[in-house]
Amino acid sequence: MEFQPRVFQMFGGLYPRAHQPVEPKGKGYIQVLLKALKERNVPIRTNVRVTEIIRETPVSGDVRGVRCETKEGVRWIRARQGVVLAAGGFSANKYLRELHDPRVKNLGTDNLPNQTAGDVMMAAVRVGAYLVGMDFIQSTPGAPAGKKMKIILNTKVAESIYVDKRGSRIVDEGARRDQIRDAVLATPERYAYTVVDNETYESYNSAVHSSVEEGIRINEAWTAPTIRELAQKMGVDPEGLEKTIDRYNNVLVKNQKDPDFGKAPRNLTKRIEKGPFWACYTGMTVHHTMGGINCNTKAQVLDWQGNVVPRLYAAGEITGGIHGTNRVGGNAFLDCMVYGQIAGINAGKERRA
Ligand SMILES: Cc1cc2nc3c(=O)[nH]c(=O)nc-3n(C[C@H](O)[C@H](O)[C@H](O)COP(=O)(O)OP(=O)(O)OC[C@H]3O[C@@H](n4cnc5c(N)ncnc54)[C@H](O)[C@@H]3O)c2cc1C
């Protein structure tokens, strides 16, 4: 897995400690993992929907396997060792997410549309698993209601600002994701905009550039040689935006101090000054669900009394309690990669049935 050497503070990352993968959009991880699977002759079965987990009795004894639906009908898969649940979170399950946090009602999601989101988590409940933190639901910048595209120009927090329709900044761009969500949803429009200069725009990869180009085509992203012209295209107050950028560059960055929102000096290092300038909508979309199946540090699934559900493991976004109320940007690595490996190793140590 190749990472770019530069360290930066990513959106919601709280400190400069992020490396961007060389390959965009998760491709790098998938290539490495696919190669490992191929080398070990691990089959991948697609179009197989897990609907139930099989345990000796509904809430006691070993987990024995899963019930699945396939194109050919119902199939039962017996596990020779452990079963590892890695079916992701429930951001795309409107009912479940709104049940636990009504504030996300009517927001879109940046997760893939997933008819099965939450299915496996609930199947685990039916064999005794206990859920934690279900109302900790993260929303991050994406398309506002009624708009199409998730365009991301806010990843590098030291190089971008969020403004509202009046052209005013609304929050410390380096704040926690829940604070940024609350600031955006508190604007009268319930959406904001991200503004960057050309230097920052050029530092993004081709996937970001393609989404901005498509955004410009459908009037959901904008570029212009001056801040005034940019604001006019965005439908934002031009004087407001000019004032904000001027204050940001010549007071905040110059003095290394943000009396408005307390942005840390380490993130006040870059003026937004080299045109052409670029902007996109920054609405809120449901991004990540911190809650899920309660597990111990061996990735074993626990019931409501803290007892292990024998031979059942979980890793990734399907688990709960790893991140607390707010997942720090970049940290899905913990539940996915770190606990994925722990779950795999421990499931592989189970005696063979
Ligand atoms: C746009 C976006 C950008 C992100 N960027 C970052 C980032 O920069 N850094 C970071 O750390 N995290 C990031 N995240 C979060 C991170 O990608 C996720 O938390 C992570 O991918 C979850 O991995 P997972 O393996 O647990 O689940 P997933 O990747 O969601 O995989 C779950 C799989 O299970 C399948 N499945 C679901 N139900 C069933 C069923 N019933 N039967 C069979 N299969 C089923 C799904 O189809 C899916 O293939 C991002 C998320 C999004 C949406």
pLDDT in tens, 126-169: 999 999 999 999 999 999 988 999 999 999 999 999 999 999 99
Say if ligand 1 is within 6 A of residue 10 CB.
no
Question: Are the C-beta atoms of residues 192 and 162 closer than 8 Å to each other?
Answer: yes
Q: Give 55's DSSP letter.
A: E
Q: What is the pTM of this model?
A: 0.89
Is 193 strand, coil or helix? strand
Question: Are the C-beta atoms of residues 179 and 137 closer than 8 Å to each other?
Answer: no
Question: Are the C-beta atoms of residues 119 and 148 closer than 8 Å to each other?
Answer: no
Question: Are the C-beta atoms of residues 309 and 80 closer than 8 Å to each other?
Answer: no
pLDDT for residue 204: 93
Q: Is 177 a catalytic residue?
A: yes
Q: Which atom of ligand 1 is nearest to the CA of 88?
A: 27
Q: Which atom of ligand 1 is nearest to the CA of 118?
A: 38
- Among the listed residues 18, 1, 37, the one whose alpha carbon sits nearest the alpha carbon of residue 328: 18
Say if ligand 1 is within 6 A of residue 317 CB.
yes
Tokens in use for 256? Answer: 């290394």
Say if ligand 1 is within 6 A of residue 323 CB.
no
Say if ligand 1 is within 6 A of residue 93 CB.
no
Ligand 1 center–CA 223 separation, angstroms = 32
- Exactly one of 177, 181, 311, 327 is catalytic; which is it? 177
**Exposure letters 244-270 (e unless 16+ CB within 10 A, then b):** bbeebeeebbeeeebebbebbeebbeb
pLDDT in tens, 184-201: 999 999 999 999 999 999
Question: Are the C-beta atoms of residues 108 and 279 closer than 8 Å to each other?
Answer: no
d(CA 169, CA 174): 13
Residue minimizing CA distance to atom 34 of ligand 1: 87
pLDDT for residue 82: 96
Is 91 strand, coil or helix? coil
